[in-house]
Amino acid sequence: MKFLRSIAVTAVLALPLLAGVPGMATAAEEKKAKSIDELAKMYDSSGCKQCHEGIYNDWNQSLHARSIFGTGRTALTVATTVKVGLMGWQYSGVKKPEDVKVKHLMVCFKCHLPQMAEATDDVAREIVKLSIRYGDKATSSEEKDKIEQKLSSININCLICHQRNAIVHKWVDGFPQKNEVYGSKDGTHADSNHAVMKKSPIMSESILCGQCHGLGPNFELENPSQCGTLYGSYLWAYRAEGGQESCQECHMKKSKMGHNMQSYSDINFGKSAVDFQVETLGYIWRDKSKMIPQTLVKVDMTNRAGHSIPDG
């Protein structure tokens, strides 16, 4: 869930830079989506399944595949952000849900849906309407199912990590192009929509994940917030202390979860992240002449992850 924090920063920063680079037809310059369906189509990665079925199915089990719906709780938090946050703040410009614009939702969607930067305010309003409707007790279960389906159709999929956000240092490595996919090598790619395969220098590096899994407040926003602080913890409490493993090594390779990459919610992964030892000792303590029978319980825990547990 918290894999997705600062992706849009790079996109937002890229906009003025791209304006002066002829021939750089990037995602940000494409025509903006006017509906959830259009945005889903713009970032449709269902074609990847044809050749990468196992990976696609793994991803489909992940929270990335439902990044703005989550377990339902994420959608409800979007609604709360509007009703309690935006509508409660004097200078937000939001007095009612219909006032919400893309920029208002980027406090969440910078990471939960970075491609939102390529959508119009109509999409922002559509998402808000559905999120509020989902939380309404009067909404039928059939309608809730439809809302879940619709909100889950836009997510963090192949094209986000392997294209849109595959490059962090665009002045050094170039700007991601719509006809490219990024992985571990250069070459051609058997997909007419994405015929070029390029090596991303950061595909196995933690900074790829760090784009979203946060350093702290997102100061580029008019009203900053922080949801994930995990990458900050990784940098300053793990790497700075000599830790050497990457996000991908633990969450994808060692866990054998690949693109499913669960974390806290996976019982076995959570269990493996923390060593847990308990010792007990029964004895009778003597406080002057008073005999006090008691048990000493000693609990020793060591977090084996490359970041604080939990974060946020």
Site of interaction with another protein (CB under 8 A): 73, 77, 80-81, 84-86, 107-108, 216-217, 224-227, 229, 233-234, 237-238, 241, 243, 264-265, 267, 270-271, 273-274, 276, 278, 280-284, 289-312
Buried b / exposed e along 133-150 (16+ C-beta atoms within 10 A): bbbeeeeeeeebeebbeb
- Compare residues 19 and 285 and give the one whose CB is closer to another protein: 285
Q: How far apart are CA 168 and CA 35, in angstroms?
A: 28
Contacts of residue 79, Cβ cutoff 8 Å, sequence gap at least 6: 128, 131, 132, 134, 135
Our CB check for another protein shows the closer of 149 and 265 to be 265
Which one, 140 or 295, has the nearer CB to another protein? 295
Cα–Cα distance, 94 to 297 (Å, whole number): 53
> Of 137 and 290, which CB lies nearer to another protein in the complex structure?
290
| CB of 114 vs another protein, minimal distance in Å | 16
How big is the CA angle at 88 (ends 221 and 10), to the nearest 5 degrees? 15
Residue 94 near residue 102, CB atoms below 8 Å: no
Dist CA 37 CA 61 (whole Å): 22
Retrieve residue 284's tokens.
């009778």
Amino acid identity of 107?
A: V
Residues listed for the chain: 312
The nearer residue to another protein, 176 or 210, going by C-beta atoms, is 210
* Nearest-approach distance from CB 132 to another protein, in angstroms: 15
- Min separation Cβ 86 and another protein, Å: 8
8 A C-beta contact, residue 156 and residue 67: yes
- In the complex with another protein, the residue whose CB is nearer, 90 or 302, is 302
Shortest distance in whole angstroms from residue 85 CB to another protein: 4
Give the residue with the Cβ less far from another protein, 204 or 308: 308
**250, 305 Cβ separation under 8 angstroms:** yes
Cβ atoms of 218 and 9 within 8 Å: the answer is: yes
CB of 241 to another protein, least distance (A): 7
Beta carbon of residue 283, minimum distance to another protein (angstroms, whole number): 8
| Burial of 76 (C-beta count, 10 Å sphere; 0-12/13-18/19+) | middle
Cβ of residue 304: shortest distance to another protein, in angstroms? 7
Nearer Cβ to another protein, position 138 or 284?
284
Query: Smallest distance, Å, CB 162 to another protein?
Result: 27
The helix-helix angle for 102-112 and 7-18 (nearest 10°) equals 120
Cβ 19 vs Cβ 11: under 8 Å: no
